[in-house]
Structure 1
């Protein structure tokens, strides 16, 4: 069809139609006049695209990022120019470090006003350049389909990540006769036969191998294939920092969460391994505990690193075998590999599994409310169903330690350590899987960074459960403060509102729990309320602030720091 025979459409209509062509089912937005033609065009797609009206751009961006994690498709977010874009930038940074496909659309001043520092004008290429895979501005209405098709391709190919597209007003209000661009199939990358042969040889020579899984882009099929590979070779399997959903924790080969807060036996096992197969993970700072258990640039262990971006291979660690493949392509290629003899390390894997199971026994905690026992109760009652979300803070370590995650969609956690993530992520999970429980673990500080998104749960009738860990302070920073400046606590405490009253203002149910004995009944009531009323429920956990992390106390951190300081002080010579 010639362009002259195509209907004339404004930029907003072209853009939204192009999103529909590419399979967008939901867009998260905070409305702004700078992209009104896009908002209006959603009227024509009520049957296919659901607009989720958020309360603040960081919440909208987090929801879109969580959608990308859950679906492997780009989460779509629209925000207005200037302040809207700066608010949304935290979600772009999260998507970048978490390797999550996402497309952020930002309204922009018209080209007739550009470069004058017009109202709310920002150069988005400069602003987002270091934290997005591609940043562009669509200056020609007729090229919108081209840009959207490329945005989808960039966001999902290689190492997935965020794309930012600025939309000048004249581009959106302008009209063009242009054809839509059909989406292309997702491309996967695969190892060569030579690389598979080398991997097999490394496994044949190994005595203490370890399989570490992480990254994004996993599918149920890929997880089944990687589980079969682990079974055949009797490999101990760990998941990278906050990639808890990459492997079913109930599998007999699962041995723990690798990274900050991991148990000592697992740390020692990683150091003693003679072969690390790292699949999908960058081996970043939190996973390697500051690049400690695996040394950079040349590890003491034999390293097989499998990653979809060739620039990452050798970037921090020099692997013995580098394989440029994504998790889907690599897992599908493993069917041809099998050991030539029973793996000699079977007993080691069994021992590693038992060491992991031992960590599920709650540690001692001060006061009548133990967060260890609370989290164990959550794990038992959910029994592998639903999704646990967290933001950032020491409270998240309880979920990392005690929840047995069940695979895809069971965890939403920002590897970048972004606060305020848990509530928007739980909302996104409930939108995608209405029949599954969505439980948000949130610190009192973390929760208050995006608590306004409770309005989304109210508006769209979303029954999420919030477990609010209330210790009245920025706990993680307090632990660091006691470690580095013992006994000099300042500027880290705050006065909280009545959270149980706050949730009722949003149509929800709230309770305060201060004792282990009543938590199970309270959690059961919360789950029932959310299922029956499709509204949020909140349980405020008031606990002894000295219990700062599983098995750790602030008082002990302070005492150890004071002892180190005193032992380092020069001693005065004795007087005659």
Structure 2
């Protein structure tokens, strides 16, 4: 519906709240909006129609999928991803994506339609108090009830989402407000310089490094730019320091580098964990040193016996759990550039230490022999050789993810997106969001059969938008992670973890995509090449040996270990 223009005394044309909201998105740099439509924000949808040449509106099939796509967009661009959902059930479905953005420190703005204001506190149709509902898992939650305040509150929402430790902001939109007229100017982002590290802090860091014998760097967190990653690489490699990455942050450092030590997170190699314990100086750059990195808060001494230098954008995160020997509050990219400009350590003493840490990584990346026609480790390593240099990987959550984490290497120039909060159902929507954000890059998704059917309906969005990610479904007919723990605790008593699955190749073919089934080692690369050549969204179903429940143990072995315990 078109709205008649009105001119105010200040010379600014009056606009509806819905139009002001759409214009505010443009003013704050949004280029994509991922949404499931609802009657609670019809006026915003109408405003987006007027901005259809400046904002791509991606219509999704489920609110969780929409927010995962927006979150992936935020991870890749460093700008706030934007999702819009309707009130009540729509907002509840979206909550998982908000939690992902919160724990992954991803900038995100979620707009939620709201009930009419005069029905508040009556438990009216689809009423939810969003401040209370989202409060614990968002950086800020607000509600816009006056159209005149839209530019102010929307600009602040984007500022909060992208500043300090990035994260999600939720903005509820009163239904009537979207129809009201207001004559107010748009407000865009201000020019804010990043926080630079204190010179004295850099001097102290180099002094501590110069006295170390076994330093280990851990890269993590969000907000890293290509320039920042290159600068921190130059600093760490230039000082011959081994480098681990935190949980699902493999895109921060070249996995093929002689300085790469592996990922320090869930399922981390025991050799790397042992080396982290031996280290006499931890350089924690960008990471919060949370539960996965600290191996359940057991790896580092809370009181700071093992010296830690922690760099983070948010001072509140420095030493939050583990006392640090030196905390540096700074934008990670500003810190990286400053660190790269520092004089190198003259003849560092830890050359053999770095080689030993790297050797531990190389040892765990060697493909063992596995029973059956499919050696998934070898197949994935062969796949890695044919992937483009700018591939974007996305990963779901589950035991299957330990296979690519252990046996593959994310290279410089590639990106890796995964949910650090362990959210199943993330991988496929994230792949779609990545393919929409960067249609010129190859997107490869790793997902288990459990996660594939949590948000697999979003494959429809691929064909609606013309996106073409390639989805690798690791099918072992079970919720593998839970089955692993079940066999460790209650061996042989299988309850609630078996799955019945469709033929995933036919599933994607029903949408008009390309489907493949892989059952042997040498079938994966040709299947991928055919999928890539098709130019369509594709699923490659990898039918795994269900007995091989992890890349290190079979079900029989887990049961035997449990009986000995």
TM-score band (shorter)? Answer: over 0.9
Going from structure 1 to structure 2, the CA distance change for 1:186 and 1:482 (only over 3 Å counts) comes to farther
Determine if the alignment matches structure 1 residue 125 to structure 2 residue 126. no
Q: Tell me which residue corresponds to 2:429.
A: 424
Matches of 2:230 and 2:329 in 1, distance apart? 21
Q: Tell me which residue corresponds to 1:560.
A: 561
> Which region of structure 1 is more displaced relative to structure 2, 126-135 or 543-552?
543-552
List per-residue Cα deviations over 1:279-325 (Å, max 9, x = no partner): 11011111111122223x22432111111111111210100101111
Q: Is the 8 Å Cα contact of residues 132 and 161 (structure 1) preserved in structure 2?
A: yes
List per-residue Cα deviations over 1:358-383 (Å, max 9, x = no partner): 33321222321122122212211115
Q: Tell me which residue corresponds to 1:499.
A: 504
Going from structure 1 to structure 2, the CA distance change for 1:38 and 1:408 (only over 3 Å counts) comes to farther
Normalised to the residue count of structure 1, the TM-score between the two structures is 0.95
Q: What is the CA distance between 1:407 and its match in structure 2?
A: 4.0
Q: Tell me which residue corresponds to 1:344.
A: 349
Q: Tell me which residue corresponds to 2:531.
A: 526
Q: Provide structure 1 residue ranges, at least 5 long, that are not aligned to the other structure.
A: 565-576
List per-residue Cα deviations over 1:81-116 (Å, max 9, x = no partner): 000000000000000000000000000011121121
Determine if the alignment matches structure 1 residue 390 to structure 2 residue 391. no
Matches of 2:49 and 2:192 in 1, distance apart? 29
SS in 1 for 2:110: strand
Q: Is the 8 Å Cα contact of residues 3 and 178 (structure 1) preserved in structure 2?
A: no
Q: Tell me which residue corresponds to 2:275.
A: 269
Q: What is the CA distance between 1:248 and its match in structure 2?
A: 1.7
Matches of 2:359 and 2:23 in 1, distance apart? 53
SS in 2 for 1:405: coil
Determine if the alignment matches structure 1 residue 459 to structure 2 residue 460. no
List per-residue Cα deviations over 1:49-101 (Å, max 9, x = no partner): 00000000000000001111001100000000000000000000000000000
List per-residue Cα deviations over 1:488-528 (Å, max 9, x = no partner): 11111121112111111110111222111322211211111
Q: What is the CA distance between 1:353 and its match in structure 2?
A: 2.2
Determine if the alignment matches structure 1 residue 471 to structure 2 residue 476. yes
Q: What is the CA distance between 1:197 and its match in structure 2?
A: 1.1
SS in 1 for 2:433: helix
SS in 1 for 2:340: helix
Q: Tell me which residue corresponds to 2:119.
A: 113
Matches of 1:343 and 1:3 in 2, distance apart? 70
Q: Is the 8 Å Cα contact of residues 518 and 540 (structure 2) preserved in structure 1?
A: yes
Going from structure 1 to structure 2, the CA distance change for 1:391 and 1:314 (only over 3 Å counts) comes to same
Matches of 2:390 and 2:516 in 1, distance apart? 23
Matches of 1:293 and 1:364 in 2, distance apart? 31
Q: What is the CA distance between 1:409 and its match in structure 2?
A: 5.3
Q: Tell me which residue corresponds to 1:443.
A: 448
Q: Tell me which residue corresponds to 1:214.
A: 220
SS in 2 for 1:238: strand
Matches of 2:209 and 2:190 in 1, distance apart? 37
Q: Is the 8 Å Cα contact of residues 364 and 551 (structure 1) preserved in structure 2?
A: no
Q: Tell me which residue corresponds to 1:569.
A: none
Of the three residues 239, 243, 257, the one matched with 2:263 is: 257
> Which region of structure 1 is more displaced relative to structure 2, 270-279 or 396-405?
396-405
Matches of 1:267 and 1:479 in 2, distance apart? 21
Matches of 1:522 and 1:182 in 2, distance apart? 47
Matches of 1:3 and 1:57 in 2, distance apart? 41
Determine if the alignment matches structure 1 residue 227 to structure 2 residue 233. yes
Q: Tell me which residue corresponds to 1:322.
A: 327
Determine if the alignment matches structure 1 residue 37 to structure 2 residue 38. no
Q: What is the CA distance between 1:552 and its match in structure 2?
A: 1.9
Determine if the alignment matches structure 1 residue 541 to structure 2 residue 542. yes
Normalised to the residue count of structure 2, the TM-score between the two structures is 0.96
Q: Provide structure 2 residue ranges, at least 5 long, that are not aligned to the other structure.
A: 1-6
> Which region of structure 1 is more displaced relative to structure 2, 143-152 or 429-438?
429-438
Q: What is the CA distance between 1:388 and its match in structure 2?
A: 1.3
Matches of 1:408 and 1:252 in 2, distance apart? 17
Q: What is the CA distance between 1:186 and its match in structure 2?
A: 4.4
Q: What is the CA distance between 1:451 and its match in structure 2?
A: 0.7
Q: What is the CA distance between 1:445 and its match in structure 2?
A: 0.6
Going from structure 1 to structure 2, the CA distance change for 1:470 and 1:336 (only over 3 Å counts) comes to closer
Q: Is the 8 Å Cα contact of residues 246 and 408 (structure 1) preserved in structure 2?
A: no
Q: What is the CA distance between 1:385 and its match in structure 2?
A: 3.2
Q: Tell me which residue corresponds to 2:373.
A: 368
SS in 1 for 2:126: coil
> Which region of structure 1 is more displaced relative to structure 2, 371-380 or 79-88?
371-380
Of the three residues 84, 89, 94, the one matched with 2:95 is: 89
Q: Tell me which residue corresponds to 1:511.
A: 516
Matches of 2:510 and 2:341 in 1, distance apart? 58
SS in 2 for 1:311: helix
Q: Tell me which residue corresponds to 2:81.
A: 75
Q: What is the CA distance between 1:259 and its match in structure 2?
A: 1.8
Runs of 4+ in 1 over 6 A off after TM superposition: none
List per-residue Cα deviations over 1:127-175 (Å, max 9, x = no partner): 0000000000011110000001100110011000000000001111111
Going from structure 1 to structure 2, the CA distance change for 1:116 and 1:408 (only over 3 Å counts) comes to farther
Q: Tell me which residue corresponds to 2:3.
A: none
Matches of 1:197 and 1:350 in 2, distance apart? 27
Q: What is the CA distance between 1:408 and its match in structure 2?
A: 5.9
Q: Is the 8 Å Cα contact of residues 70 and 408 (structure 1) preserved in structure 2?
A: no
Q: How many residues in Structure 1 have an aligned counterpart in Structure 2?
A: 559
Q: Tell me which residue corresponds to 2:33.
A: 27
